[in-house]
Amino acid sequence: MRQDSDDRRPRHALPRLLRTAGLASLLWLGTSATAAASQGSAGTAVQSVTPSPPAPAAAAPAAVDGPPMIAADGKIVPGPPITPQQVKSARHPRYPAGWTCAECHDVSFGVDFVSSASRQYANNFAALPQEAIWERIVQFLPGRERFAMATAHEGRPVATTVDMVLDKEEKVFYIVSEKGTEKLMQLKENPQFSAVRADGWTVAAGGARQWVSVQVNGEAELIGAQDPRFLPTLEKYSLVRISKERAVRRFDIQRVTPREIVLFDTTLLKDGQSPYQYWNRPAAPREAPPQGRTPGR
Ligand code: HEC
């Protein structure tokens, strides 16, 4: 179930209270000491924790050059535990690009709409306008593109590949697949759809360190061979190259209506944008409510 995503205010007022009371340094020493103790004998994988000096801004008037820089030496500087909904304030210490909140904070991540690490990025970094996100999606998917699709049967997930063609006007995808495959049977059982196309840096290929992906979440509708849309769709999108007679016997088409598309691009961070950008399908235009009645909510 979706939680209210409007509530972006930090829920923990404690750090701020302490700071106002001039106790920030105590908090600092406390958290750092605890973290250092808990990591004491943890072995080679854990970096040593060196507390940076407490934020000087506490009682003093706002420093000219803004909040202090921490972690520039690559060492973790622990902050208080936070919820994934909390947004860092303007007085939050600055830290080098590329760090995640969870590296310095214990974050109570969850699986709902607002509690994931990706949403935490979206909450704390800028969102592109919807049209700009859509343009990038279109750019990333110029033709017939290969996606990894997830389906499940009796709770057991299966990841398979599908070719998807984007209809830029209707903002839907078309997929042609062999009739009777496991993935198709599972999609019929549950038309909730999720697929991702990913590209980017690999150890073997090297090159620029950029990771890009497009995740399509929505609903699939089967267009079987008996459907009047079947042949026109095959032709319009040049979906297959075999004869109509064979195609009709062999394939099913899926029409996927995305509810949400998640664009991921690591290079967005350098401009202060969230690497996760959420495109949402605009609500379908509603018919005018009947005269003389106020639409109920
Ligand atoms: C390099 C370590 C580091 C990273 C990364 C980091 N924080 Fe913090 N954060 C701290 C420290 C240290 C404090 C305590 C600062 C203080 O009390 O002056 C803090 C304080 C906070 C606070 C309370 C005070 C405030 O500024 O609002 C919030 C909320 C917070 N962090 C959220 C976040 C979120 C969200 C992210 C990721 C987008 C994040 N932090 C990333 C170290 C970090």
Local confidence band at 118 (pLDDT 50, 70, 90 cut-offs): confident
d(C-alpha 260, C-alpha 2), whole Å: 14
Question: What is the 79 CA–ligand 1 centroid distance (Å)?
Answer: 5
Strands 156-167 and 172-178, by their bridges, are: antiparallel
- pLDDT tens digit sequence for 144-162: 999 999 999 999 999 999 9
Ramachandran sector of residue 66 (left: φ over 0; alpha: ψ -120 to 50; beta: rest): left
3-class SS at 114?
Answer: coil
- Residue with the smallest CA separation from ligand 1 atom 2 is 104
187 class by beta-carbon count within 10 Å (0-12 exposed, 13-18 middle, 19+ buried): buried
d(C-alpha 232, C-alpha 153), whole Å: 31
3-class SS at 267?
Answer: helix
Q: What is the mean pLDDT of residues 250-279?
A: 94
d(C-alpha 193, C-alpha 14), whole Å: 42
Question: What is the 92 CA–ligand 1 centroid distance (Å)?
Answer: 6
Q: Look at residues 87, 126, 116 and name the one whose alpha carbon lies nearest to residue 269.
A: 126
pLDDT exceeds cutoff 90 at 293: no
* Percent above pLDDT 90 for the chain: 54
Q: Give the number of C-alpha atoms closer than 13 A to the C-alpha of residue 296, restricted to the C-beta side.
A: 0
- Domain-wise residue ranges, the chain: 8-124, 130-280
Ligand 1 atom closest to residue 27's alpha carbon, by position in its atom list: 17
- pLDDT tens digit sequence for 28-59: 333 333 333 333 333 333 344 444 444 444 44
Ligand 1 atom closest to residue 58's alpha carbon, by position in its atom list: 18
Q: What is the mean pLDDT of the chain?
A: 80
**Alpha helical stretches, state H, 105-206:** 117-124, 130-140, 182-189
- Residue with the smallest CA separation from ligand 1 atom 43 is 104
Amino acid (one-letter) located at 95:
Y
Q: What phi and psi values does residue 157 have, to the nearest 5 degrees?
A: -80, 150
Q: Which two tokens stand for residue 134?
A: 């859509």
Ligand 1: residues with CB < 6 A are: 10, 15, 19, 24, 27, 55, 70-71, 77, 79, 82, 86-89, 91-93, 95, 99, 101, 103-105, 120, 124
Is 213:148 a contact under the CB 8 Å cutoff?
Answer: no
Cα dihedral 74, 75, 77, 81, rounded to 10, equals 90
Ligand 1 atom closest to residue 87's alpha carbon, by position in its atom list: 35
Question: What is the 60 CA–ligand 1 centroid distance (Å)?
Answer: 19
d(C-alpha 157, C-alpha 153), whole Å: 7
Q: Which two tokens stand for residue 244?
A: 């109509």
Query: Which is the CATH superfamily of the domain at 130-280?
Result: Electron Transport, Fmn-binding Protein; Chain A (2.30.110.10)
Ligand 1 atom closest to residue 92's alpha carbon, by position in its atom list: 26
